[in-house]
Amino acid sequence: MNNVNELLKEKLTAENYNKLIALDNPKMHDFVADAIELCRPASVFVCTDSPADRAYIRDLAIKNGEEIPLNVPGHTCHFDGYHDQARDKAQTKYLLPPGSQLGESLNSIEKSAGVEEVRSFLKDSMADREMLICFWCLGPTGSDFSIPCVQITDSPYVAHSESILYRPGYEQFKKFGSSPDFFRFIHSEGELENAVSKNIDKRRIYIDLEEDLVYSVNTQYGGNTIGLKKLALRLAINKASNQGWLAEHMFVMGAHPTPRRGGGRVTYFAGAFPSACGKTSTSMLPGQTIIGDDIAYFRKKDGQIYSVNVEKGIFGIIRDVNSKDDPIIYEALTGPCEVIFSNVLIDGAKKPHWLGMSAEGGELPTEGTNHSGKWYKGKTDSDGNEITPSHKNARYCLNIPDLSNRDPLLDDPNGVPVGSVIYGGRDSDTLVPVEQAFNWAEGIIIKGASLESETTSATLGKEDVRTFNLMSNLDFLSIPLGRYIQNNLDFAKGIEDPPLIFSVNYFLKDKDGKYLNGMADKLIWILWAELRVNGDVEAIETPTGLIPKYEDLEKLFKEHLDAQYTQADYVEQFTFRIPENLAKLDRVEKIYKEKVSDTPQIIFDTFAEVRKRLKAAGNKHSDYISPFDLTAG
């Protein structure tokens, strides 16, 4: 400890040394000292919870050229490198000691080799930059959900983003004392060229579950560098599995019926959707309230399941956000509050533009600055691919408290009681727009553990490929898949009335490829689910669950969207598709048989039972069953 203390005194100014040493945590001091010796920063800044320290980081991001001030006060724009625009799944790996395994679906590397490699890339990486030491809290502070975190980075953009996304943790660390139970993150952008990471071939994101530690180097994109986001989710899933709670890739929102259906009633929903599948827009539905849009922790208390938003901000995909479909977010993105845009187009007047920002499909500027540098319409990259004005995975980062629909229980240390869990993805031909599972177990297995989605631009690789995505959490799992499913199945034990589970599908298409759902329709599916949770409406039984009756949807469309919902609409959307559902079961079951060695037997038993129901319904009716025929039957 004396050697550590001497090093910290030598490398930090008196002011920063005093800030750090005020936190009496030897493990944290060791971590900082090791990072200083490894990365050799030119200087070190310790960020407390004070507004002055946060302002210093914001100003540094602009001074260093990582963020550009825009035409609205509080708004800035950040550009990642042209080839650093999404989560790098291939180079995000778990560091596993000899004899450990997570299953073939989870990416890993032998621990000693991985640590040696990533530390070699971090060595002397901050020689010409300032090291930022930041303290944040996952979950509300002063709560049994809270997890303290230390982020070390040389990117003021990363630190600035985290100051928006997470609750301050310096004072939390003071109360935390000398406990070694916290998450650690170390990140360096590496060598820069034109203010972006240069050595993308050496981009690495390595996760040490034994040490609750994440390394990230040679990258700037938020999904690879903002440690408390999906990187911390991986640590939390492992921690939750060991301690008997859940860490999920889910939004949390308050669903509010109309006054004549219950006045001030609010039912809290949690929902898991892969990126770019309507997750944020669902959490932001008109007339509803948002707790969080991305990551949630769940604990059991007093015979109920409670949840909190791990974050206090949103790092959302900006494509197609416009004043008609996303009025609350659009208001924040165009008003004077703190926002970081990333990889959008900036015009000469410092105004941001992005794909789909006009609900009417208006033209974007024909020139400006974007992630490729100076941009003009028709510009192509070195492979001849046309460069879009704003990247498809361009983002915004903002504070939830700056949104007019924030829920009053956003920071409640007790969390909110969960009434329902929803699973959704991009599915063009199989699932109906909304369906309730028969029970918790079938909900977890048929809705969550069988989730498939057509890929988007949020991850590297081809788009529009149907992929298996277990509970929308497959990319972030840090425990074997079978164990994760069993944890979810077991979580409802001891809960007399567990939350109802639903699937939703906003992306069903007709034979000509036209979407059958309007963008506003998702409000109706959620409000119908809210009525089901509270026992206000009946439902129709299908082989895989329960769907709405036509007359209930007709009323909801009229009441909330002032729209006529016809029987033809209903039949087209809610016709039950036997062949597609059977094919989906076959695809998913094959994955569990061939790639998941620890699959719980209940998975196969449930698949067999549902397959039996599907075939019986097909034999009784036809391959495609009108919901009115199900009613009659």
In contact, 88 and 206? CB cutoff 8 Å = no
DSSP, res 470: G
Separation between Cα atoms, residue 254 and residue 426, nearest integer Å? 23
Residue 616 has what DSSP assignment?
H
Report the alpha-carbon distance of residue 75 to residue 158 in Å, rounded: 15
Q: Do 367 and 392 form a contact (C-beta atoms < 8 A)?
A: no
Angle at 330 between CA 423 and CA 168, to 5 degrees: 75
Is 356 in contact with 276 (CB distance < 8 Å)? no
Whole-angstrom distance, CA of residue 281 vs CA of residue 138: 23
77 included as an active-site residue: no
Marked catalytic residue, from 39, 277, 337, 397: 277
Nearest to 158 by CA among 107, 201, 205: 205
**CA 231 – CA 212 distance, rounded (Å):** 10
The CA distance from 425 to 276, in Å, is 9
The rounded radius of gyration (Å) of the Cα atoms in the chain is 25
Q: Which residues contact 253 (CB under 8 A, 6 or more apart)?
A: 268, 269, 271, 282, 283, 285, 288, 289, 290, 291, 407
Structural tokens at position 107: 């990416």
Tokens of 548: 């709405």
Residue 456 DSSP SS3: coil
| Residue 153, token pair as written in the block | 């980075």
Q: Are 385 and 499 in contact (CB under 8 A)?
A: no
Tell me which residue of 525, 542, 541, 540 sits closest to 581, measured CA to CA. Answer: 542
CA distance 392 to 334: 20
Catalytic residue annotation: 277
